[in-house]
Amino acid sequence: MSFLFPVLMIGIFVAVFGGIYFRRRRNQRILTEGDLTVALVLDIHQTGTVINQSPVMALQLRLEQTGQATRELNLRQVIDLGNIPRVGEQVYISVDKKNPNAAVYMGLVTALNSQAGIAASQTQMVADAASISPRLRESKTFGVATIQGMAAGTAPGATVFTLEIDSCVEPKRVVTIEQVMQNNPFRVGDRAYLFVSKEDKNAVAVVPLSLVGGQKLDPNNNRLDALVLGPQILHEGKKAMATVTEADEVKVNNGFLEKRGVQRWHLQFLVKPEDGSMAYAAEQTLSFTKPERVQRVCRIGAEVPIRIDWNDPHTIVTDPLAMGYPDPYVTVMDIYKDALAAGEIEQPK
């Protein structure tokens, strides 16, 4: 046997099987590092190639993640006979973060969840999260909006949402989005949290209830929530001084916070804007995390710095930062984090 023969055999092996080997390595990397996405099967057919008795299938998919433009993706992959999807079905794919045109088919949404033994609540959470683009899911920027309208979308399980985005520093604005959300729990008039893109403020997605333990924003609570509008008005609202004219303690509706000493007061103020314009009366129900703040603010005649909503002069908060106190919204978040770490409250499932 000549020396050339084994060299030729190695070359033939690499040419025939090397591509398969490197595709498998690439696919494994995409599976572990890629972005989970839900896609709609537009077309599927066999390529005529069979590997280990499983056909290589050609798939044409449509990705409709909220927060990015709808696009199509073609891929070829070995798929075992029991896992081949049909046109019109929704599937999970993992998309390469380095190359958005490279992806790996993972399986049917319903079949994969069933095989993995995922609970119904977790199944909903995975599907809802996968329908939102990674740039929105990972932005860590949130908004809040009132749902003004809903209609059936073009994709299976999709809803067209008309949203009025609330703000204490900018004019309210209306955006319309289409978002896949199986078993949509929202109604017109509900307030909902949003994922907001840092690059484009009109690129938003409704935060599914499956990602927040199924809890809706309570319409009876203060509009100034602890995640979005409260911190926004505290840090960016218009500055002013106010005199407390009435102060009445009211019940704390949250038993968890009440046990930790949080107090709630209904206060009436005479607001004196910094620009010298006419003083006016306003009232607000506010929560206080520190007893010393209650003593400082919640008494008739107290002079306190406040912040005012740029869109609504009657929406105000006292300014603890100007009085030398810590940010109360950070304090509330820390209370919840400590309770989660101690096992006093359950992590949303």
Q: Give me the DSSP letters along 88-143.
A: T-EEEEEE-SS-TT-EEEEEEHHHHHHHTT--HHHHHHHHHHHTB-HHHHTS--EE
Asked if 204 contacts 197 with a C-beta cutoff of 8 angstroms, the reply is yes
Least confident of 66-70, 74-78, 162-166, 238-242: 66-70
Question: Distance of CA 96 to CAs 11, 27, 44, Å?
Answer: 30, 9, 21
Q: What is the mean pLDDT of residues 285-303?
A: 92
Residues 6+ apart with CB under 8 A from 338: none
With 0.85 as the threshold, say if the pTM is over it. Answer: no
Q: Residue 315 is encoded by which pair of tokens?
A: 């929406």
Structure tokens belonging to residue 54: 């499983």
Residue where the block lists tokens 């004219």? 245
**CA-to-CA distance for 159 and 183, rounded, in angstroms?**
10
- Could you report the per-residue pLDDT of 119-136, keeping only the tens digit for each? 555 667 777 777 888 778
Which residues does residue 268 pair with via DSSP β-bridges, in sequence order?
246, 283
Per the CB < 8 A criterion, the answer to whether 266 and 250 are in contact is: yes
The residue with greater pLDDT, 246 or 79, is 246
Question: Quick one: 187 exposed, middle or buried, by C-beta within 10 A (0-12, 13-18, 19+)?
Answer: exposed
The structural domains of the chain, ordered by start, are: 27-122 (2.40.50), 138-211 (2.40.50), 229-342 (2.40.50)
Among residues 163, 164, 155, 205, the alpha carbon closest in space to that of 182 is found at 155
Burial 64-78 (b: 16+ CB within 10 A, else e): bbbbbeeeebebebb
Q: pLDDT digit string (tens) for 319-349?
A: 999 999 989 888 888 887 887 777 776 555 4
pLDDT digits over 184-215, tens only? Answer: 889 999 999 999 988 888 889 999 888 777 77
3-state helix, strand, coil in the chain (%, to 5): 25, 35, 35
**CB contact set of 143 (below 8 Å; sequence gap of 6+):** 165, 166, 167, 193, 194, 195, 196, 204, 228
Q: Who wins on pLDDT, 65 or 296? A: 296
Supply 153's token pair: 């979308």
Q: How far is CA 44 from CA 55, 91, 298, in A?
A: 12, 12, 68
Contact between 203 and 67 (Cβ < 8 Å): yes
160 or 53, which is more confident? 160
Q: How confident is the model at residue 24 (pLDDT cuts 50, 70, 90)?
A: low
Q: How far apart are CA 60 and CA 93, in angstroms?
A: 12
State residue 229's pLDDT score.
94
Phi, psi of 344 (to 5 degrees): -75, -25
Q: Is the pLDDT at 243 greater than 80, yes or no?
A: yes
Instruction: Find how far residue 202's CA is from the centre of its chain.
Output: 14
Give 303's pLDDT tier (boundaries 50, 70, 90): very high
Residue 10 has a pLDDT of 38
Reported as a pLDDT band with limits 50, 70 and 90, residue 51 is confident
What is the Cβ-side half-sphere exposure of residue 347, based on CA atoms within 13 angstroms?
Answer: 5
Structure tokens at 146: 């009132």
